[in-house]
Amino acid sequence: MKLNVAVFFGGESVEHEVSIISAEQAIAALDREKYNVIPIYIAKDRKMYISELLEDVRNFKDLKDLVSKCTQVTLAHVDNKVIILPVKTTLFGKKELGTIDVAIPVMHGTNGEDGTIQGYLEMMKIPYAGCDLYGAAVGQDKVLQKNILRDNGLPITDWFYVYGEEMDEHQDEILAKVHKLIYPVILKPARTGSSIGIAIAHNDEEYLECFENTRQFDEKVITEKVVKPMREINCSVLGDTIHAEASVLEEVTKQTESDNMLSFADKYMGNAKGAKGAKSSGSKGMASTARIVPAPLSEAETATIQKYALETFKVLGCAGVCRIDFLMDAETKRIYVNEINTIPGSLAFYLWQEMGVSFTELMDRLVDQALARERRRSRMTFSNDTNLLANYSENGLKGAKGTKH
């Protein structure tokens, strides 16, 4: 009997379109002999839709027209099943549109990858692939992430963060912190990805201008010392709390001339081939980025980065397939953990292909991990059978309004 696998993608995020590209690749890679694949598109207004039209990326050129042809749905947990229900029913239309056995979130950025969709799936009791809501939240928030990495002895660059509102009253203090790092510095929104909102500043004037732009994407703005000359090395990790393995390494080579920084266009607007069988005539996601695989590093350097990748995966409480991005000082050879992507672009399938793991096998492993985690959790205790309110007494609560005992 086939499993009903729902792929959730889209969402209210600046990485909405990137999510669509990654999801289309994942949908194409799922084995239709094993799974009934259900694409569930979350529009920018957070409404959910299903339709066969969602399986072809070319239909997303006009989002408004697309959703007008799809069925808006909601989910309900009934009799230990999660049922897909149409929001609007007709006299002769279907009252139920199927059930979900396993979910695969392919949502990048805020309101999705950050624990939002994971929390929703847990509330619905749907087994899902990837990080749980805690690992997802920490993986998305670079401030929390960096603090955990630092406390666990993993190497990171010198940095600090402030809330965007602080610049209005504490400009001189913030600039003093920047001067301690020494220009050039890089500014990042704390909770976005895909290079969105990232900029490099070389002096105070540039810094203030970049800060105003970056704060538009997140309340927290991170400032880091630029590593220069820099090499960017990425490593994927696949697994869970029981077992995890590191992929081959890649060195990203297509970068902007001025500061050696990978841009959004570099990442997603190239023309390399994507997943076999994908219905697409456009971008191939992160698979399009110019890269050298395996990265031209020594055995010792490769082993060190893979070790750091596995440690990062573990201390952040991750699961599924992630990609950890590293920076290497090209002169000193020092290595720094840059960030983790808990739902990486293209699900980093291209790194696993180099190890003989096809995209289809990668998707199988994600489904298996989701079911295994659900089996482990089913043996845990999350609530008590007792009801403290069974002996409720108004007299016993008089004078205690609003207090917790």
For residues 239 and 242, give the distance between their C-alpha atoms in angstroms, rounded to a whole number: 8
The four Cα atoms 358, 359, 360, 366 give a dihedral, to 10 degrees, of 110
Residue 223: in which H helix or E strand, if any? strand 220-225
Model pTM score: 0.87
Q: In what order do the strands lie in the sheet with 3-10?
A: 99-100, 81-86, 71-78, 48-50, 35-42, 3-10, 102-106
The two structure tokens encoding residue 305: 């980065």
Q: How far apart are CA 135 and CA 342, in angstroms?
A: 8
Length of the chain: 405
- What are the tokens at 155? 């190497």
- Digit-by-digit pLDDT tens for the chain (405 residues) are 899 999 999 999 989 999 999 999 999 999 999 999 999 999 999 999 999 999 999 999 999 999 999 999 999 999 999 999 999 987 777 889 999 999 999 999 889 999 999 999 999 999 999 999 999 999 999 999 999 999 999 999 999 999 999 999 999 999 999 999 999 999 999 998 767 889 999 999 999 999 999 999 999 999 999 999 999 999 999 999 889 999 999 999 865 545 555 554 555 455 434 444 444 444 565 665 689 999 999 999 999 999 999 999 999 999 999 999 999 999 999 999 999 999 999 999 999 999 999 999 999 999 999 999 999 988 877 767 777 777 777 666 565 555 555
Name the percent of the chain in helix, strand, coil, to the closest 5: 35, 25, 40
Q: CB-based burial of residue 156 (10 Å sphere; 0-12 exposed, 13-18 middle, 19+ buried)?
A: middle
Residue 301, SS3 per DSSP:
helix
DSSP state of 226: P
Q: How many CB atoms lie within 10 A of CB 296?
A: 11
218 in Cβ contact with 15 (< 8 Å) = no
Sheet arrangement for strand 230-239:
291-292, 244-252, 230-239, 320-329, 335-341
Q: What are 273's strand-pairing partners? A: none
